[in-house]
Structure 1
Amino acid sequence: MSAVNTRYSFALFISAVAALFSLFAALSFGAADTSLQDVFNSFLLSNDASFNTRIIFELRMPRTLLAFLAGSGLAIAGLILQTVTRNPLADPYLFGISSGASFGVVLLMAFAGISAGFMLSAAALLGSLLAMSLLILIAGRQQSAQVESMLLAGVALSFLFSAFTSLLLYWSDPQAVAAILFWTLGSFARAQWATLWLPLLVITLCTFVMLSFRRQLNAMLLGDESAITLGVRVQRFRILMLVLSSLITAVLVAMCGGIGFVGLMIPHIVRFFISQGTIAGLLVTSLVGGTFMVWVDVLSRSLLKNQELPVGVITAAIGSVFFLSLLFFRKRRV
């Protein structure tokens, strides 16, 4: 085995161990006083009906798993967009996909009063597909300017859907506005065992498809002309990747609300240590994203006593500091 393969395998092993430890350790954080020993005992005595065991299995575990799935899915979606557009700042928010999904969900919540269930995911998917369709329509068919047009159109669409969402909130029932606003900032409080199957299925399938197209993704990094020379149908492949990113984002927005900067930040962090054009690199990106979001959720439940901070506020703060630091150190190197 070569040194490069050994390093990739080691990075994947460390990421997997960190993810498993995080999933286990996060179960001990919350309003109720539980320790790692209590969590361990709950797994050993899974039939135990004690108060701590019920809290861990019925409340904390589905929430922690949803947080991991959200971080993993957003990291994969960000990596997809950054690859097919060759823009390191691309993520579902920049392209308006997340804003479109949020608009669809808020529209359903404001006028139909539906706050849970499969209908929210369907509304989010329709909103994200609407944003993606407008994005492709505005970008046009010119290969040379398609990426630049997508970036500009994505920013404009993001502001447009955000404006429509704010208008809906203005017209909504004042009693429902607070709940909708908290949801739009991101939260895993509504996590349930019965609804975890949907994000798990979508993220697993999209990750598998991405892994199967890793050679085409690597070719896209060389530029459209080089990718066409290598046999990649660039426009169709880019649309396919946008659909995958929209699907992941829609499902997560419907269940968790708006969570920014994850798809933007995690691929950058992983790129410092390992190439993302390999199977190991793609899987490491997914694991690091999930691990990051698990600990963000722990912070949201632990920073304030008897209160929960929106997850999106924490990710935005961390992401802003990360990129300001990145710009500062790059400037010093120059």
Structure 2
Amino acid sequence: MRKDITVRAYNDKLSFQINNKTIIILFCLSLIFIGALIIGPSLGHKLLSPIEVLKVVVSGGSGGSEFIVMNSRLPRTLVSLLTGGALGLSGLILQGIIRNPLAAPDVIGVTSGASVAAVIFITFLSGSISISFLPVAAVVGGLIASFAVYLLAWKKGVSPFRLILVGIGISAIMSAGTTFMLVFSSAVSASQAYLWLTGSVYGASWHDVTMLLIVLVVLLPCVVYFSRSLNAQQLGDDVAASLGITIERHRFFLLLFSVILAGVSVAAAGAIGFVGLIAPHIARSLLGREFTSLVVGSLFIGGLIMFLADLAARTLFYPLDIPAGIFTAGVGAPFFIYLLFRNRHQF
């Protein structure tokens, strides 16, 4: 019995191997992901059975149950799963192109840049421009921050230590800019902006679900297509170039994908920290280092991390609704310190 399955398409431009163990793990993760989608709307102050939730989704239900499921819990569950998935995928891309296990959208300043752009939009532009342009502002802010970090960290290449230090510095500058905006904004704008700083899917809407779904449906195949390039880049730039990889062009597109994923996540849920750092590491421990399987694994695991954080946020301290970002930071910050200690000899 063969342990590996080889997939080739588009004249071998898309090709990868996947073993039976990986298929089983990804299948189990997909089942858990679907289970979270069903169980999420069931849990809360008023418990609903999964069967009742399915009935409401398929054919409607009583007024109270339908409102709870369709207007509150289901979109919130979907946004948490999709936001976490997008952040997990964004972190995987950054760690791949930079070859740095500490890279993540929030660590190197992408999330902070997207957040400050979102706060500027809310404070100065929300009254004159449609709120539907908020994701565009967040993506632009993330792009500016990411390119600033990359350029400032460049010195005959980008070392992991310089990248982390510059990223922390850029994040601090962006945080100061955000605080400056809050000081001079109205009370209403400041309360809205506060959600971006802590990260929460409270008040998630079907508009957010649609936005995240569109971005993931478009970008997921693109990232899978570039996974072969990510595999080659792990061997070093010279080896990757000898294999026919146009390194700088591929890095540009991959960085763009990562920033877009982080930007729409910030637009939907605020500045959620550390999901993009943790999810790829868990995926590697389960699936190995082949990026095609890691793309799917990081998406599932990131979604589940965010789902659990939001579930804890809305149930453990009821009637208070704690921002999910507090829980992800509580787990992610010690994990980040652990990674710094484990990789200290590489800097």
Q: Normalising by the residue count of structure 1, what TM-score does the alignment of the two structures yield? A: 0.90
- The 1:206–1:308 alpha-carbon spacing in structure 2 relative to 1, beyond 3 Å, is same
**Alignment-mate amino acid for residue 321 of structure 2:** E
1:131-185 CA-partner distances (Å, limit 9, x unpaired): 1332344345x65347665444333222111111111112122343233213321
**Alignment-mate amino acid for residue 282 of structure 1:** V
- Cα offset, 1:91, TM superposition: 0.3
**How far apart are the structure 1 equivalents of 2:72 and 2:276?**
26
Report the secondary structure of 2:286's partner residue.
Answer: coil
Report the secondary structure of 2:319's partner residue.
Answer: coil
Residue in structure 2 matched with residue 203 of structure 1 by the alignment: 216
Q: Which residues of 2 match residues 52-131 of structure 1 at below 5 A?
A: 52-113=65-126, 117-131=131-145
Match among 5, 16, 19 for residue 30 of structure 2: 16
Q: Which residues of 2 match residues 1-334 of structure 1 at below 5 A?
A: 2-3=2-3, 5-43=19-57, 46-113=59-126, 117-140=131-154, 144-145=157-158, 150-323=163-336
Structure 1: segments with no counterpart, 5+ residues? none
Indicate if the aligned counterparts of 1:26 and 1:295 stay in contact, CA closer than 8 A: no
**How far apart are the structure 1 equivalents of 2:291 and 2:333?**
28
**How far apart are the structure 2 equivalents of 1:55 and 1:220?**
47
**Alignment-mate amino acid for residue 48 of structure 2:** T
**Alignment-mate amino acid for residue 219 of structure 1:** A
Report the secondary structure of 2:287's partner residue.
Answer: coil
- The 1:31–1:254 alpha-carbon spacing in structure 2 relative to 1, beyond 3 Å, is same
The alignment's C-alpha RMSD in Å is 2.5
1:47-91 CA-partner distances (Å, limit 9, x unpaired): 334311221122211111111110110000000000111100100
**How far apart are the structure 2 equivalents of 1:258 and 1:323?**
17
**Alignment-mate amino acid for residue 36 of structure 2:** S
**Alignment-mate amino acid for residue 2 of structure 1:** R
- The 1:291–1:320 alpha-carbon spacing in structure 2 relative to 1, beyond 3 Å, is same
Structure 2: segments with no counterpart, 5+ residues? 5-18
**How far apart are the structure 1 equivalents of 2:150 and 2:54?**
50
1:99-153 CA-partner distances (Å, limit 9, x unpaired): 111011101112234597312112112211221332344345x653476654443
- Cα offset, 1:281, TM superposition: 3.0
Percent pairwise identity: 32
**Alignment-mate amino acid for residue 137 of structure 2:** A
- Cα offset, 1:37, TM superposition: 4.2
- The 1:146–1:269 alpha-carbon spacing in structure 2 relative to 1, beyond 3 Å, is closer
- Cα offset, 1:194, TM superposition: 3.0
**Alignment-mate amino acid for residue 178 of structure 1:** S
**How far apart are the structure 2 equivalents of 1:326 and 1:182?**
28
Indicate if the aligned counterparts of 2:196 and 2:266 stay in contact, CA closer than 8 A: no
**Alignment-mate amino acid for residue 51 of structure 1:** G
**How far apart are the structure 1 equivalents of 2:249 and 2:142?**
18
**Alignment-mate amino acid for residue 37 of structure 2:** L
- The 1:145–1:246 alpha-carbon spacing in structure 2 relative to 1, beyond 3 Å, is closer
**How far apart are the structure 2 equivalents of 1:330 and 1:215?**
26
How many aligned positions are there? 329
Report the secondary structure of 2:90's partner residue.
Answer: helix
**How far apart are the structure 2 equivalents of 1:191 and 1:77?**
21
Indicate if the aligned counterparts of 2:199 and 2:323 stay in contact, CA closer than 8 A: yes
- The 1:124–1:324 alpha-carbon spacing in structure 2 relative to 1, beyond 3 Å, is closer
Indicate if the aligned counterparts of 2:109 and 2:145 stay in contact, CA closer than 8 A: yes
**Alignment-mate amino acid for residue 252 of structure 1:** S
- Cα offset, 1:303, TM superposition: 1.3
**Alignment-mate amino acid for residue 207 of structure 1:** L
**How far apart are the structure 1 equivalents of 2:96 and 2:332?**
20
**Alignment-mate amino acid for residue 3 of structure 1:** K
Report the secondary structure of 2:230's partner residue.
Answer: helix
- The 1:246–1:281 alpha-carbon spacing in structure 2 relative to 1, beyond 3 Å, is closer
**How far apart are the structure 2 equivalents of 1:135 and 1:305?**
40
